[in-house]
Amino acid sequence: MKLDLVAAADGDGVRVTGSTAGPKSAVYSLYDSSNLRGLLGLAEGASRFSSDSTTGDIVLRAETGKLLTQTGNGASTIATASGNIGIGTATPATKLEVGGDGKFTGGDISVWNGNKALALRQDSSDAMKSLSVSPSRR
């Protein structure tokens, strides 16, 4: 089945409305045959479509597999069922894995693993001021 929508004027689009009784959480569900594979929903109440959602959240959820955002032919970001996020990699092995260079702006960078901290600090001229490893959190 294929559905094509063509906008004839400004403001044309698709409107999905929820139920007429109770919370009116609108949802667009994606099925493969009879299996729910994912959804896009508007949470009009706490814990709608996700245990972490609150009223007004937009939830995009993959029921199986991975959740991808893509430009062109390759995945730009990926979220796996285990909670790992990958940027520039299709197989993130840790909570955040970046394939390629990264840039952080706006201040210092700190990494804390529970008992040690690694910190990169800048001075006012944006030069790296210090790199420190400490046994206590800063």
Residues 58, 27: one domain? Answer: yes
Give residue 99's pLDDT.
Answer: 87
- Residue 137: pLDDT band with limits 50, 70, 90: very low
Is position 11 within any domain?
no
- Total domains in the chain come to 3
Lowest mean pLDDT among 47-56, 69-78, 126-135: 126-135
Residues 92, 115: one domain? Answer: no
Gyration radius from the chain CA atoms: 21
Residue after which a domain boundary falls, among 64, 90, 117 = 64
Residues 28, 60: one domain? Answer: yes
Give residue 85's pLDDT.
Answer: 92
Is position 137 within any domain?
yes
**What's the CA gap between 51 and 59, in Å, rounded?**
11
Is position 127 within any domain?
yes
Span 34-46, mean pLDDT? 84
Lowest mean pLDDT among 22-26, 33-37, 48-52: 22-26
Is position 17 within any domain?
no
Residues 110, 82: one domain? Answer: no
Is position 131 within any domain?
yes
Residues 96, 82: one domain? Answer: yes
pLDDT at 70 over 50: yes
Residues 56, 70: one domain? Answer: no
Cα–chain-centroid distance for residue 138? 28
Is residue 118 a contact partner of residue 110, using CB atoms and an 8 Å limit? yes
Domain that holds residue 35: 23-64
| Tens digit of each residue's pLDDT (9 = 90 or more) over 95-131 | 998 888 887 776 777 777 777 777 777 777 766 666 6
Give residue 11's pLDDT.
Answer: 60
